[in-house]
Amino acid sequence: MKQLIQLARADIGESLRARWFLVYTLVFGGIMVGLFISGLTESRVMGFTGLSRILVTYLQVTMAILPIFMLITTVRSVVGEREAGVFEYILALPVSIGAWFWGKLMGRFVVVFLPVIGALLLAVVWGLFKGVSIPWFQISIYSGLLASLAWCFLGIGMLVSTLSRSTDVAQGAAFMIWLVLLLFLDLILLGVLISDGLPAEMAIGISLVNPLQSFRTAAMLLFDPQLVLLGPAAYVILDNFGRNGYLAWAMIYPLFIGLLCAGAGFWGFKRGDYS
Partner 1 sequence: MIRFEQLTKTFRRNTVLDGIDLNIERGDRIALVGSNGAGKTTLIRCLLGEYTHGGTILVDGKAPRTHRCEVLRRIGFVPQLPPPLKMTVGQLVNFSAELCGSEPERMNRIAEELGLPVQDFRRRPFVKLSGGEKQKLLIAIALGRDVDLLVMDEPAANLDPRARQVFFGFLAERQADISMIISSHRLDEVAALVNRVVELDRGRITLNDHVDDRVDMAAMLSCQLEVNRADDAFAKAIGAWNFEMVNGGLKWRGRVAGPDRLRFLGTLSRYAALLRGIEMKEGDNEAVQ
Q: Taking the CA atoms of the chain, what radius of gyration do you get in angstroms?
A: 20
Distance CA 142, CA 147 (A): 9
Using alpha carbons, list the distances in angstroms from residue 5 to 89, 90, 101, 181: 19, 15, 11, 33
Q: Which of residues 256-275 bind partner 1 (CB under 8 A)?
A: 271-275
Determine if 88 is a binding residue for partner 1 (CB under 8 A). yes
Which of these segments, 35-43, 88-96, 218-226, 235-243, binds partner 1 (CB under 8 A)?
Answer: 88-96
Determine if 1 is a binding residue for partner 1 (CB under 8 A). no
Q: In angstroms, how far is the first alpha carbon of the chain from the final one? A: 24
Residue 11 CB, shortest distance to partner 1, in Å, is 10
Which amino acid, residue 18? Answer: A
Which of these segments, 85-93, 101-109, 128-136, 211-219, binds partner 1 (CB under 8 A)?
Answer: 85-93
Distance CA 224, CA 209 (A): 22
Q: Which of residues 38, 96, 133, 240 is near partner 1 by CB under 8 A?
A: 96
Instruction: Give 169's contacts (C-beta < 8 A, 6+ positions apart).
Output: 79
Q: Which of residues 37, 39, 46, 94 is near partner 1 by CB under 8 A?
A: 94
Determine if 18 is a binding residue for partner 1 (CB under 8 A). yes
Residue 2 CB, shortest distance to partner 1, in Å, is 8
Alpha-helix runs per DSSP H in 17-131 = 19-37, 50-84, 86-90, 97-130
Residue 29 CB, shortest distance to partner 1, in Å, is 22
> Closest Cα partner for 259 from 143, 86, 96, 105?
105
Determine if 131 is a binding residue for partner 1 (CB under 8 A). no
**Site for partner 1 (CB under 8 A): how many residues?**
26
- By CB under 8 A, name the binding residues for partner 1: 3, 6, 10, 13-14, 17-18, 84-97, 271-275
